[in-house]
Structure 1
Amino acid sequence: MEIVLASHSNLAVGMKETAEFIMGRQEKLHVIAAYIEDEKSVVDELTELVSQFGNEAVLFLTDLKGGSVNRIISEYILEREDYYLISGMNLALVLELLMLSYEGQRSEVMAQLKEIVVNASKDLEVIDVDELSVQADEDF
């Protein structure tokens, strides 16, 4: 499965660079950095990129649910059986998705993706640095 990170500006570029820093070059990881080039629309970038994939399944990760990039991709993938979309990408999610092999029917892939999203969101936490310093003091 091809994986496309799509964001406003360069967030997706940084996410890809960081994922490849950790995991090495990823042939199936691609980027759409929207609104960087004035003469190129997001739809044009999307169409150009996806045309390179042939009949390969595609997983899109967008930066913001309801944002323009997410809405454009949502409309683009309508009625395409082997296209998937996750919004709210983060590095933990990208890394886990890169380690996965995608096999089975659409319902099986969707279940797998939903489980990964839940796992990736478990690491979201507010950390009170004041409590960390108190804990560190107590440990010594």
Structure 2
Amino acid sequence: MLERKLVLASHGKLASGMNSSLRLICGGITPIETLDCYLTEDFDLEKAVSEIMERHRDHELVVVTDLFGGSVNNEFLAHINRADFYLVAGMNLPFLVEFAMQFQLVDSLSKLIETTLTTAKQSIQFCNQLISSEIEEEDF
């Protein structure tokens, strides 16, 4: 089995911020590389992504980006046909916590991504509406 690598990539410092939160919650369970984009005027996204893809050419690589259709995601999307490369858009902490906890343990990364996405979507809640609905149910 190939060694696995996880990269978080975002506009601004979201990727490193997510990594910081993830380490606080989960500890250092898996090494994570981050790519914070556009922090300087001379930032070259194509070069940065190419370097990551080259550095991890002999790994199973999962990249999680912040925004589907954004420039960061689109640059990684150019590599979508590479073997053992998985690209996920819509970075959020519930997804990363669950995914990172199982990242090194499962056989199939694609199945893990699918199940983790389903669970993470359920964690997004409109709390006002949720609490209001619970209060209405208690009144009956």
TM more than 0.5 = yes
CA RMSD, aligned part only?
Answer: 2.4
Stretches of structure 1 lacking an aligned partner (at least 5 in a row): none
- Which of 78, 81, 97 is 1:79 aligned to? 81
Partner of 1:98: 100
- Which of 23, 27, 31 is 2:26 aligned to? 23
Measure how far apart 1:120 and its partner are: 0.9
Map residues 85-124 of structure 1 onto 2, 5 A cutoff.
85-100=87-102, 101=104, 104=107, 108-124=108-124
Instruction: Report Cα offsets for 1:64-87 as digits up to 9, x if no partner.
Output: 111111111101x23211110111
* Counterparts of 1:102 and 1:85, CA distance in 2: 19
- Alignment of 1:38 onto 2:41: yes
Q: Percent identity?
A: 25
TM-score under structure 2 normalisation?
Answer: 0.81
Change (3 A) 1:30 1:38: same
Which letter does structure 2 place at the counterpart of 1:68? S
Partner of 1:127: 127
Partner of 1:67: 70
Instruction: Report Cα offsets for 1:2-61 as digits up to 9, x if no partner.
Output: 111111111111000110111223552111111112223112222223433351111011
Change (3 A) 1:20 1:131: closer
Stretches of structure 2 lacking an aligned partner (at least 5 in a row): none
